[in-house]
Amino acid sequence: MATFISVPLKKSSEVDLVKPLSKFVTSTYPPGEEQTEYLRAVEELNKLRKSALGRPLDKHESSLEILLRYYDQLCAIEPKFPFTELCLTFTWKDAFDKGSLFGGSVKLGDGAFAHIKDTVLSALNREPTMDISPETVGTLSQIMLSQAQEVFVLKATADKMKDAIVAKLANQAADYYGDAFKQCQYKENLPKEVLPVLAAKHCMMQATAELHQSALANQKKKFGEEIARLQHATELVKTVASRYDEYVNMKDLSDKISRSLTAAKKDNDFIYHDRVPEVKDLEHIGKASLVKTTGIQTPLSQKFTDLFEKMVPMAVQQSVSAANSRKSDTVNRLIGSMREATNLCNGVLASLNLPAALEDLSGDAVPQSILEKSRAVVQQGGLQSIEQLIKDLPELLQRNREILDESLKMLDDEETTDNELRGKFNQRWNRTPSGDLYKPLRAEGNNFRNILDKAVQADQVVKERYTAHCEMIALLCKPENELSAAIPSANPAKTLQGSEVVNVLRAQLAQLDEVKREREVLEGEVKSVTFDMTAKFLTALAQDGAINEEALTTSELDSRYGSHTQRVQQNLRRQEELLSQIQVSHQEFSALKQSNSEANNREEVLKKLASAHDSYIEISSNIKEGTKFYNDLTEILLKFQNKCSDIVFARKTERDELLKELQQSIAREPSAPSFNVPSYQSNTPAPASGGPNPAPRTAKPQPPARPPPPSVTPQAASTSAPVSTPVAPSSANPPPVAPPSQAQGPPYPTYQGYPGYYQMPMAYNPYAYGQFNMQYMPYQAQGQAGYPGAPPAQQPYPYPQQPPQQQPYYPQQ
C-alpha cells in the first residue's frame, strides 16, 4: 500500500453555541412558532458540533459525512447570524503540535488548503497558527496536488494503460513532488517525516516514469535507451532504499526494475549489441497533469439540510430594518406635520378666545367650551395625575444611569487588568488590546449618556411649563359653581346675538372643525398602512448578489404613501386659508363688542383657561411619553449590559487560557544560560568506599540530520528546476518551540450591533403621534448615525429631532 501524507484534524476547545445564538433568536424574533423552531435548530447545531469536534472520529466515510455536514451548516448560517458580534470565540490548536502526519485513508479535497489561504485567512484579525499560515497551507496544497497525481499513476498502472501514458503521468507526479520538497525545505513547523517522504516519492515517481519509458523504447527497438533508462531507475531506487527505507516500501518497484534491467542487458549483450547512451543524452519524458486545485462548492454533503432554512440572511434583516426606519420616518413626518397643524390651530383659537367669545355673549355664564375643557381635565386625573408622573421621572432616570455606569465599569475593570498583564508579559501577551476592542462599546455608552442628558433637559422644560400653567389647570379642576365664581363678569353683549359677523365666524369655526376631523381620519389611515419588503429584498439578493435597499424602499414608500402625502398637504393649505379668514372676522367681531376693563379681564381669564387645557393635554402626553421612553431605554440598556458582560466574560476566559499557556511556556524555558564546564571538573572523583556507585553517564542522542534530496537528471527537468541538495541543519540549533494556541474563529465583535436585537427609543419629542411602530435599528460603530442631536436654536423646546414648533417629546415604540 502506498504511503500518503495526511494532515491531522485540528483540535478545538469546547464552545457553547446555545447561549449566544438563542439570545440572538429571542431578541430578534417575537415569541411564537418561528422563534421556537429556530431555538430547536440552535440545539441541533450544538449537537452537530459536538459530534464533529467533541469526540475522536473513526477513519470512515461516516465520520467524513459528519464533518461535511457541520461545515455545510456553518456556511449556511454564516450570513444569517452576526457571529462577529455574538462574543463567540473558536479556539483551535495547531494541527502539527502533536501526532504524526501518517494516517489512513483520510480524504482531502485538492482545493481545501487553497480555500483556507485565499478565503479563511482574510477573516482573521490576528496572526494564524503555523499550521494554517499562508506559507504552510500553500505547501500542503502542493503536497495534496502531488498525491492526487500519484493516485492517477497508480490507477493507470493497475489498469495496464499504455506505457507512454503512465510514463507521462509519473513524470508529472515527480515534478509536483519536487516542487513540494522545495517548499518544505525551510518549513520548521512541519513534522520531520514530511521531507524524506517527499524526497522518496520524487525518486519513486521518476523511477516509475523511467521504467515505463524504457518499455516504450523496447517497443521502438531502442534497446540501448531501454538499458540506460533502467539503469537510471535502478540508481533512483537505490537512493531511496539507502536513505528513506524507513518511510516508504520500494521492494516491488525495485524488483520489477531489476528484472527488466537483467533481461534487457542479456538480450542486448547476446543479440542486439546496441550502444547504451548517457543519461544526459536521453530524450526528455513528456508530462501529463490530470489534477488541479478545485474551488470549494457548498454543500459538500449530499445529505445536507439547512437547520435554519427559513431564517433570512443578515443582509436582508439589515435591509428590512433600514426599510422600516425609512417607513417610520415617513409616517412620523406625515403625522408630525398634522399634529403640528392641530396645535397651531388650537393656539390661534385660544389667543382669540374662540369659540368661548361667541358663547359668552351673556357676559356672566361659563362658556360651554370652557365647561367641556374642564370636564376633560378632570377625567384625565387633573393635577394629581401629572404630579405623580413628574415625581416618578427621577427614579426612572437614576435606574438607567446605574445600569449604564455598571456596564462601563465592567469594561474599565477588564481593560485595566489587560493593560497590567500586557505590561508584565510584553510581546508575549499577543491578543487584541481591550482598549481597541471596546472602542465601539464605549462609543455606544457615550451615546446613551448623551441621550440621558438630553432627556433630563426635556424633563426640565416640561416641569417649567407645568409650573407656568398649574394655577389655571387647578382652576379647571374645580366644580362649575367655583369655576363660574372665579371668572370675572362683564356687561352683556346680547345685541351681537344673530349678527352677520357672529354667524360668519361660527360658520368658519365649523369648517375648521371639519378640517381637524379630516386630519384625524388621515392619521388613522397613515398608521394602518403595512407592507413587508422581505420578499423583494430576497429576490434582489438572489438575482444581483446585493440589495439596493434605498432605491427599493423609496419606490415602495412613494407608491404606498404618495396619495396620503397629497391629501395632508391639501388639508394644511385649507386650514391656513380658514385661519386667515377667522382672524379677519374676529377683528370685526371685536370692534362691535363694547370694550371696557371688565370685559377685557373676563376675556383674558377665558383665554388662560383655554390655554391651560391645551397645555394640560400636551404636558400629560409628554410625561407619559417620557415614562415610556425611560422604560424602553431600560430594556435597551440591560441588553447593552449583557453585551458588555458577555464580551468581558469571553475576554476573561481567553485571558485565563493565555495565562496558563504562558506559564507552561515559561516553565519549559531553561532557568540559566548554558556554559562550559572547566576541564578539571570533568573528571568524576572515585566514590568513597562503601558508598553507592554513581549511574553511568549516557550521551544524549542527537536528532537525525535532514535527509538529502534525490539526485536529479536532465530527464526530470521541465517546468520545475532540479531539487538541490539541502544542507543538514546543525545539531546545535534547538527545535522550534510551538507558540501558544491562538483563537482562529471569528474575531471579537466590532459591535455594529445586532441588527435585530432592539430598537432605540428616541429622546423627548413633544408633538409626534403616539403609535409609531419603530422597528429595530442596527447599532453603528464609531461614527454611527446615532440618536438625534440637539435641536435648532429657534425651536422652543430643546428636544432631539423636534420639528419646527411642536412634536412629541418621546417616540412611541
Cβ neighbours around 72 below 10 Å, total: 18
Residue 362: its pLDDT value, please?
A: 56
Question: How much is the average pLDDT of 684-701?
Answer: 38
Residue 334: its pLDDT value, please?
A: 92
Residue range 451-461, pLDDT digits in tens: 999 888 888 88
Residue range 279-320, pLDDT digits in tens: 899 999 999 999 988 777 778 887 888 888 888 888 888 898
Residue 590: its pLDDT value, please?
A: 77
Please, how many CA atoms are within 13 Å of residue 158, restricted to the half-sphere of its CB?
7
Strand 742-743 and strand 91-92: pairing? antiparallel
Local confidence band at 264 (pLDDT 50, 70, 90 cut-offs): very high
Q: Which of 147-151, 388-392, 718-722, 760-764 has the lowest mean pLDDT?
A: 718-722
Residue 776: its pLDDT value, please?
A: 37
- Answer left, alpha or beta for residue 751, where phi above 0 means left and psi between -120 and 50 means alpha: left
Q: Does 180 score more than 80 pLDDT?
A: yes
Local confidence band at 475 (pLDDT 50, 70, 90 cut-offs): confident
Q: Does 441 score more than 70 pLDDT?
A: yes
Local confidence band at 87 (pLDDT 50, 70, 90 cut-offs): low
Q: Which of 272-276, 544-548, 700-704, 780-784 has the lowest mean pLDDT?
A: 780-784
Q: Does 522 score more than 60 pLDDT?
A: yes
CB 397 within 8 A of CB 452: yes
In percent, the amount of the chain with pLDDT more than 70 equals 72
Residue 813: its pLDDT value, please?
A: 36
Burial environment of residue 43 by CB neighbours within 10 A (0 to 12, 13 to 18, 19 or more): middle
Q: Does 426 score more than 90 pLDDT?
A: no
Local confidence band at 668 (pLDDT 50, 70, 90 cut-offs): confident
pTM value is: 0.48
Q: Which residue would you say has higher pLDDT here, 359 or 405? A: 405
Print burial letters for 545-558: b (CB count within 10 Å at least 16), e (below 16). eebebeebbeebbe
User: Any bridge partners for residue 92, and if so which?
Assistant: 12, 742
Question: How much is the average pLDDT of 171-177?
Answer: 94
Residue range 703-761, pLDDT digits in tens: 444 445 544 444 443 433 333 333 333 333 333 333 444 444 333 333 343 333 344 44
∠ CA 771-773-778 to the nearest 5 degrees?
Answer: 145
Q: Which of 269-273, 583-587, 720-724 has the lowest mean pLDDT?
A: 720-724
Q: Does 214 score more than 60 pLDDT?
A: yes
Distance of CA 657 to the CA centre of its chain: 24
Cell of 317: 434583516
Residue 60: its pLDDT value, please?
A: 72
Q: Which residue would you say has higher pLDDT here, 214 or 135? A: 214
Residue 71: its pLDDT value, please?
A: 84
Q: Which residue would you say has higher pLDDT here, 143 or 697? A: 143
Question: How much is the average pLDDT of 347-365?
Answer: 75
Q: Which residue would you say has higher pLDDT here, 569 or 646? A: 569
Give dist(CA 274, CA 446) in Å, integer. Answer: 92
Residue 168: its pLDDT value, please?
A: 95
Residue 634: its pLDDT value, please?
A: 92
Q: Which of 101-105, 131-135, 539-543 has the lowest mean pLDDT?
A: 101-105
Give dist(CA 768, CA 667) in Å, integer. Answer: 67
Residue 133: its pLDDT value, please?
A: 62
List C-alpha distances in Å: 643 to 640, 648, 711: 5, 9, 62
Local confidence band at 364 (pLDDT 50, 70, 90 cut-offs): low
Q: Does 106 score more than 80 pLDDT?
A: no
Residue 622: its pLDDT value, please?
A: 85
Q: Which of 190-199, 514-523, 559-568, 738-747 has the lowest mean pLDDT?
A: 738-747
**Alpha-carbon dihedral sign for residues 264, 267, 270, 271:** negative
Q: Which residue would you say has higher pLDDT here, 766 or 76? A: 76
Residue range 23-42, pLDDT digits in tens: 888 888 888 888 999 999 99
Is 742 strand, coil or helix?
strand
**Alpha-carbon dihedral sign for residues 137, 138, 142, 145:** positive
Q: Does 660 score more than 50 pLDDT?
A: yes
- Please write down the HEC assignment for all residues of 283-347: CCCCCCCCCCCCCCCCCCCCCCCCCCCCCCCHHHHHHHHHHHHHHHHHHHHHHHHHHHHHHHHHH
CB 84 within 8 A of CB 749: yes
Question: How much is the average pLDDT of 373-398?
Answer: 85
Residue range 780-798, pLDDT digits in tens: 333 333 333 333 333 333 3
Backbone angles phi, psi at 788, to 5 degrees: -60, 145
Q: Please, what is the average pLDDT of the chain? A: 76
Residue 416: its pLDDT value, please?
A: 93
